[in-house]
Amino acid sequence: MTTSGQRPGVARGRAPARIRRTAVVLGGALLLLALYGAAFTVDVTESGVVTRFGQVVRVVEAPGLHLKLPTDRVLRVDRRLLYSRPAQAEYLTSDKKNVVIRSLAVWRIADPARFVATLRTRANAEVQLADVVLAEIGAALGNYPFASFVSAAGGQSRFEALVLEIGDAVEAYALPAYGIEVVDVDVRQLYLPEANQQSVFERMKAERGKIAKQFRSEGERDASRMIAEAERDKVRIGAEAYEEAARLRAEGEAEAMRIYAGAFGRDPSFYRFLRTLQAYETILDEKTTLFLPAEAEIFTILQGDQGIAGEPGIEPGSPSPETDDLAAGERGARPLAEASDLPPGTPAQEAVP
């Protein structure tokens, strides 16, 4: 007998149905959970490394939705370019000079399977890569002297060669060991320790002062040589010019004397008159006062009633006594020219053949 008033058959029929619904719901939940555990997505900026019990099963490069076993794990590895800054370190150069270097490494994961097997995380990769970079910097820097990095002549600097050597060495080690492709290794700073800077700077100043002194002495020597050569050329050119001028002057004076002699031989009175005018032109100017006697030849010229340069009473064009004497002396030596051959106004006794 039941107290609820329900029939026993109906109660027994509803219980299996409720159990079935519960089982279906639980089965669906388990199925969804299994599907969720078996599916995973890969972004375009990363690679998916599927591991099973710690071993790498496969690497998924294509982005999108993928499936795996529920027991598998997926490690996502960044495929983008990454960079790390190793700590600054102090090194010795080949000439035993201490230098401090700060570096920068740019890298990416080229082999995700090896990367996961050896390093697994980016933090471990940065630590290992920093150790490799610092070790290769020390090995390469020991082959170069300090002066090859701070040389005053740009063409003698070995800094770029050092950086290339470090990058090649780090890439050759990191790719097979960790699956990391080192794109670039750059030395950001290279400087002296604080304790050594002052002494090195003083030594560098002394060396530069020595070089400057050498250049200055060489310049003074070259300047003295050039000045001596210029003075020698100056003396030589001056002597040649003076010699040429003296020769030309002598030739000019000889030509002038010949012309004067010819002019004096043709007309002595006109020559004397011309020389008198030249003398007056030389000694007279606007501020000169000259007192001359009344019988001075200049007054005769200015008055115009006497000969050009002859004695008083001698008409222009008339032969003077000096001309008569000169002509008389020359008659015995050479004949006179015919009057018809003479230019108008020329005294017959001065004409020569």
* Residues ≥6 apart with Cβ < 8 Å to 143: 94
Distance CA 246, CA 234 (A): 18
Whether the per-residue pLDDT at 338 is higher than 60: the answer is no
How much is the CA Rg of the chain, to the nearest whole Å?
A: 61
- Over residues 44-101, the pLDDT tens digits come to 888 888 888 888 888 888 888 887 887 788 888 998 999 899 999 989 888 888 889 9
How far CA 20 is from CA of 13, 14, 15, 23, in Å, comes to 12, 10, 9, 5
Pair 348, 339: CB distance under 8 Å: yes
DSSP string, 231-247: HHHHHHHHHHHHHHHHH
Neighbours of 272 (CB within 10 A): 17
**246/24: higher pLDDT:** 246
Reported pTM: 0.49
Identify the helix (H) or strand (E) that includes residue 219.
Answer: helix 194-266
Distance CA 79, CA 109 (A): 6
Work out whether strand 89-92 and strand 98-109 pair parallel, antiparallel, or are unpaired.
Answer: antiparallel
Tokens representing 305 are 């009633």
Give residue 234's pLDDT: 92
Pair 63, 97: CB distance under 8 Å: no
For 83-107, letters b (16+ CB in 10 Å) and e give: ebebeebebebeeebebebebebeb
Which residues are paired to 190 by β-bridges?
101
Give residue 151's pLDDT: 63
Give residue 292's pLDDT: 74
Highest-pLDDT range among 90-94, 166-170, 200-204? 166-170
Pair 127, 87: CB distance under 8 Å: no
Give me the mean pLDDT over the 106-133 stretch: 92
- Over residues 266-310, the pLDDT tens digits come to 777 777 777 777 887 887 777 777 777 777 766 666 665 444 444
Dihedral, 241, 244, 250, 251 alpha carbons, nearest 10:
-140
Give residue 125's pLDDT: 93
Tokens representing 347 are 């005294």
Give residue 303's pLDDT: 65
Distance CA 130, CA 37 (A): 37
Task: Write the CATH number of the domain with boundaries 82-191.
Answer: 3.30.479.30
Neighbours of 4 (CB within 10 A): 6
Task: Give the residue extent of every domain in the chain.
Answer: 8-76, 82-191, 268-350
Closest CA to 148 of 162, 166, 134, 138: 162
DSSP string, 254-311: HHHHHHHHHHHHH-HHHHHHHHHHHHHHHH--TT------TT-HHHHHHH-SS-SSS-
Work out whether strand 82-84 and strand 98-109 pair parallel, antiparallel, or are unpaired.
Answer: antiparallel
Residue 146's φ and ψ, nearest 5 degrees, are -65, -35
